[in-house]
Amino acid sequence: MIISRIQLKNWRNFESVDVALQERMFIVGPNAAGKSNFLDAFKFLRDIALPRGGLQEALNQRGGVPKIRCLSARKETDIGIMVELKSPGEDRFRWRYSIGIKLEQRGTREPYLIHEQVWRNGEAKPFVSRPDEGDLADPKRRTQTFLEQLNTNEPFRPIADFFQQFQYLHLVPQLLKYPDAFRGKKLAGDPFGMDFLESVAKATVKVRQSRLAKIQRALQAVVPQFGELVYRPDAVTGVPHLQVKFHHWRGS
């Protein structure tokens, strides 16, 4: 499956987003345009679905609702994410999942769900729709998603399994933003790709050469004077490195 559509409401710097997605997408824009914020919506769903995750943990990792709510949100201050999943070539979605979140509810200091809904096979009506009678009787239930609970996500567990497979590698470490992450501490989910070179080193020679060749061709197409990408482990320590060669801008 792929995510074929995503809607965002009051998510970080996006007041409203509704975009169709294909099997391969490229996001291009200047610094601070919101590229990482857009991708973080997918990471947020993954963090909810992870076995040791959940809604509250996913929010805490990001500093709480005020840190991810769009500053321009005025009348409607809830945060919403909706995604549709389907296989390439399918006309209708196989699954649709939607959540809405607000800051606090009475009787609890925790952020809570204003809705959680699940559709399947292109149907117009959701077969899971919260808040339900149990939520109304026990407001504490609305601090957790059904998605994160094995006893409630069984009818739509393929969605949870799909979200858990999300991987995000930021291969340019933001040293100023997360200095502790590069002094031995490792952030959950390896967001800066610190395991990337380890994965490269563990691959067989044939697989490694094939994948690096694809990366090299892509970089040659978009990076001026880019020449060659070479895998080269340290001769003494064996630590893996990627060496980049550039052509001189003046030519020969």
Strand partners, 98: 82, 117
From 37, 54, 36, 56, select the one nearest 46 (Cα to Cα).
54
pLDDT at 75: 82
Give this prediction's pTM: 0.77
pLDDT at 250: 78
Do 146 and 134 form a contact (C-beta atoms < 8 A)? no
3-class DSSP state of 125: coil
Please state which CATH class domain 2-164 belongs to: alpha beta
Rounded to the nearest 10°, the torsion over CA 130, 134, 138, 141 is -50
DSSP 156: G
Q: CA torsion sign, 193 to 195 to 201 to 205?
A: negative
pLDDT at 108: 62
**What stretch(es) of the chain map to CATH 3.40.50?**
2-164
> Per-10-residue mean pLDDT for the chain, 252 residues long?
95 94 88 90 95 92 90 88 93 96 74 95 96 93 94 95 86 52 60 72 91 90 89 82 84 64
- Half-sphere exposure (CA, 13 Å, Cβ side) for 114? 11
Q: What are the start-end ranges of the H helices in 62-202?
A: 65-68, 133-137, 157-164, 196-202
pLDDT at 24: 86
